[in-house]
Amino acid sequence: MTTATRAIILKVSSTIAFALMLSCIKLVGERVPTGEIVFFRSAFALVPLLGMLAWQNKLKEAVRTKDPWSHARRGLIGVTTMMLWFAGVQRLPLPESMAISYGAPLMIVVLGALILHETVRIYRSTAVAVGFVGIMIVLWPRFDLLSSGELVGREFVGSLCALGSMVLTAVVAILIRKMTATESTSAIVFYFSVTCTVVALFTIPFGWVMPDTEEMVLLTLCGLFGGLGQISLTAAYRYAETSTIAPFEYASMIWGTIAGYLLFNEIPGINVAVGGAVVIAAGIFIIYREHQLGLERRKMRKLSTPQG
C-alpha cells in the first residue's frame, strides 16, 4: 500500500467517524443541551487522544507551551464554534448543515486576505464568490421564514448557528496558523480538548439533564468518535500533502446523507444538492489553486475541522 493510499483511507475514515459523531449528537439533541453535548464530546475525546500521545511518546510535548494565552484564546473561540456547530446540527438535516460547513475554506481565504494580508488573485476570489452563491442556494428555503416573519423558527436558528460556526471555524484556522510558529501540533490539540471540557462545565446552570442509559451511551460514543476522527485526520496528513487528501473531506456529505436518511428520514432537497455541489466544487478549486501557488495549509487543515 502506498503512503498516498494510506493517507486517503485515513482521511475517509475520519469523515466516517465524524459523521457517526454528528449522528449521535442528533439522536440525543432533542433532550440533551448543547453545552452538555460539548462536554461529553471533548472529555471522552481525550481518551483516544491521550492514548495516541502516550503511544507516540508525546505526552510531555503536549503539555509544553510557550504561549498559554494563545491556547486560551483559541480554546474559547473554538468551544464557541463547536457549540454553534452542534446547535446547527441539532436543528438542521445533516446534509444541509454539512453543506453550510463546507464554506469554511472560503472564509479562510477571505480572512487570510483581511487579517494576514495574503494576496488573493482573480481565480481564488472568483471561486470564493461562486462558493458563497452555493451557500445561498442551500439556505434559500430558510429565507422564506423572513418573508413570513418567523424569525425564531427552529431550522432558521439552526441555519444562523451553522453560518456562525462556519465563520468562526475560519477564525480558528487563522489563529492556528499563527500558533504553529511556536506551538506543537500535540499541544494545540490537547489544550483545545481540555479547554472545551472545562468551559462546557460552566453551562451546567443553563439546564443540564441526567442522561438515561441510551443517551449516556450515545454521548460517550460522540466523544470517542470525535477523538478517533481527529486522530485519523492527523495521521492522514503525515502520509500525504494537503492537496492530495483534502478533497476527500467532501466524502462526509455521502455519509451524512446516508445517516440522515436511515436514522432521521431526511431527504436532501434540490437546493441542498445543487448548492452543496457548487460549494464543494469551489472548495476543491481553491485547494487545487493553493497547491499550484505553493501555499502551505497542512497544519492548519488538520487542526481546524468543521466537525469539531
More confident: 77 or 141? 77
In the prediction, which pLDDT does 262 show? 92
Tell me the per-residue pLDDT of 187-240, one tens digit each, with 9 for 90 and over. 888 999 999 999 999 999 998 999 999 999 999 999 999 989 888 887 787 777
| Lowest-pLDDT choice from 13-22, 86-95, 198-207, 283-292 | 283-292
Would the pLDDT of 303 be above 60?
no
Is residue 299 very low, low, confident or very high in pLDDT (cuts 50, 70, 90)?
Answer: low
Q: pLDDT (tens digit, 9 = 90+) per residue, 145-162? A: 555 555 557 788 888 999
| Closest-CA residue to 306 (of 178, 183, 173) | 173
Q: How confident is the model at residue 116 (pLDDT cuts 50, 70, 90)?
A: confident
DSSP symbols for 40-96: HHHHHHHHHHHHHHHHTT-HHHHH--S-HHHHHHHHHHHHHHHHHHHHHHHHS-HHH
Q: Which of 53-57, 247-251, 272-276, 304-308 has the lowest mean pLDDT?
A: 304-308
**Residue 1 vs residue 23, higher pLDDT:** 23
Give the mean pLDDT of 92-115: 86
Residue 28 has pLDDT above 90, yes or no: yes
DSSP 208: -
pLDDT band at 293 (very low <50, low <70, confident <90, very high): low
3-state helix, strand, coil in the chain (%, to 5): 80, 0, 20
What is the model's pLDDT at position 34?
Answer: 94
Of 71-85, 143-157, 266-280, 294-308, the range with the lowest mean pLDDT is 294-308
User: Of 41, 28, 98, 134, whose CA–CA distance to 255 is shortest?
Assistant: 98
| Cβ atoms of residues 89 and 18 within 8 Å | no
pLDDT at 87: 93
Assigned C-alpha cell, 264: 432521521
Q: Which of 104 and 145 is assigned the larger pLDDT? A: 104
Mean pLDDT of the chain: 85
Q: What one-character-per-residue DSSP string does 231-294 give?
A: HHHHHHHHHS-HHHHGGGGGGHHHHHHHHHHHHH-----HHHHHHHHHHHHHHHHHHHHHHHHT
